[in-house]
Structure 1
């Protein structure tokens, strides 16, 4: 890819999207920041985008050749909505797409897995980011963060399974590399933090950093599913609880060198993230 480029960032006010926007702008790239409301962001052009309103697609895609792609929030079958949009993006001149998926979902798997499988047939230049669980889940507005604040407890069905939690800033840095590097990435990137921790380990670190007791309460798959179903659709709750069950079996007990290899710096450790978040 040569010449000036414009990147359309979906979910531009979200956890990773906002960071992708700010990092692209800081490097002097042209950015269209898309969300359900066209929210002004420093250095980026705000544009309205709604997955369930195809009338917003044309303006969002106009003049763009790169795309940071997130699925519709909470959808267990996003391909039905995403694939028609991606065909329109291809026709509109988008040449490189970077999809945010999950370490738990392979190509052809559920949810974003179907979109992952379709990307190479639609675009010459593509990457799929498959990060582990976010560190921000414990310090933002996620269910874990709320239960920590309200009850001093993390509730999961992960048992003593371990996860290499990753900082959203590191995910965004990998995304920016995939969007801007001169060589087409055309790859599936597992993104993790530098150490695999159980949720009990996380609770211990949060206790030490904050000075407030935090514990990990272990639930069964069914208990976790039912707890999640109180606030999200039942099908999505079952999917997430199933991911917890997979963690208990060791599915996420791994680390990768993706952040260091592509950004030139080590990924942030969970303790450093917790310390920064409590300052």
Structure 2
């Protein structure tokens, strides 16, 4: 069995990956700035901006799940030096969490994606579409649904293959543990491409009260995001909304079913579980 370091272990995907790995019998280091871990995993303090935390995280590790530092417009600046140290420490496989909207060589984590083949022997990049959990967890969309009954985007009528984080985690576990990684560039979506109008209508029906999609301009979306995250990263996310409006995310893939052997969860099933009173 492998020793696997899961960065972002308390986050949306990491918290789902850790228990799956321990259930399979792997030794798991659950890494975070304020680490906690379920039974069977070892909590490890880890901070991308504190290299003093790297050595303990890497000691004895042979595989890594990589979650980029949140909100960073240039994650490669800290992630690539870490990966060089990881290779020297004996790590042979890395699985990177990226985004369906960011190809290899693109902005932010796209630069890490492009460099992986030169740094690590075995690798895979998970490129999930937008998370269904954005409407339920700690996210601006979830907050505005609860407080105002609205979802605010600059996506217009553009459609997205929203995906459940549980499905992302299931693919990640295969990418980390299969004898051969299931593909270097894994675009992960749910089974349907839906507009935010569709999402609002489904949530409204399940909750029994109206939720509407309010369309913003790029500038309005950028400024709204900049109240919560750095301005440069806010501009990047607002540009991604604009690309959705232009059709960039109007697609579905069979990645979840191909890798895990089961179909991905639909948004209507997710909404019934999350929003039923």
TM-score normalised to structure 2 length = 0.98
Who is 2:17 aligned against?
A: 20
Who is 1:44 aligned against?
A: 41
- Secondary structure at the aligned position of 1:75 is classed as coil
- Secondary structure at the aligned position of 1:28 is classed as coil
Who is 2:159 aligned against?
A: 162
TM-aligned CA deviation for residue 88 of structure 1: 0.4
User: Could you tell me how far apart the structure 1 residues matched to 2:219 and 2:70 are?
Assistant: 23
Match status 1:256 vs 2:253: yes
Cα shift readout 1:88-134 (whole Å, capped 9, x = no counterpart): 00000100000000000000000000100010111121000000000
Quick one: which of 194, 199, 203 aligns to 2:196?
199
- Secondary structure at the aligned position of 2:151 is classed as strand
Quick one: which of 264, 267, 272 aligns to 1:267?
264
Match status 1:71 vs 2:68: yes
Who is 2:59 aligned against?
A: 62
- Secondary structure at the aligned position of 1:140 is classed as coil
Quick one: which of 133, 139, 143 aligns to 2:140?
143
Who is 1:221 aligned against?
A: 218
Cα shift readout 1:156-192 (whole Å, capped 9, x = no counterpart): 0000000010000000000000000011345100000
Quick one: which of 183, 201, 208 aligns to 1:211?
208
User: Could you tell me how far apart the structure 1 residues matched to 2:134 and 2:23 are?
Assistant: 26
CA contact (8 A) 1:125 1:186 kept: no
- Secondary structure at the aligned position of 1:170 is classed as helix
* Runs of 4+ residues deviating >4 angstroms: none
Who is 1:246 aligned against?
A: 243
User: Could you tell me how far apart the structure 1 residues matched to 2:25 and 2:267 are?
Assistant: 30
Match status 1:83 vs 2:76: no
Matches within 5 A, 1:126-137: 126-137=123-134
User: Could you tell me how far apart the structure 2 residues matched to 1:219 and 1:61 are?
Assistant: 44
Cα shift readout 1:236-259 (whole Å, capped 9, x = no counterpart): 110000000000000000000000
CA contact (8 A) 1:191 1:258 kept: yes
Residue correspondences, number: 276
Cα shift readout 1:211-270 (whole Å, capped 9, x = no counterpart): 111000000001101111111111011000000000000000000000000000000000
User: Could you tell me how far apart the structure 2 residues matched to 1:36 and 1:136 are?
Assistant: 22
- Secondary structure at the aligned position of 2:126 is classed as strand
User: Could you tell me how far apart the structure 1 residues matched to 2:121 and 2:251 are?
Assistant: 30
Where does the alignment leave 5 or more consecutive residues of structure 2 unmatched? none
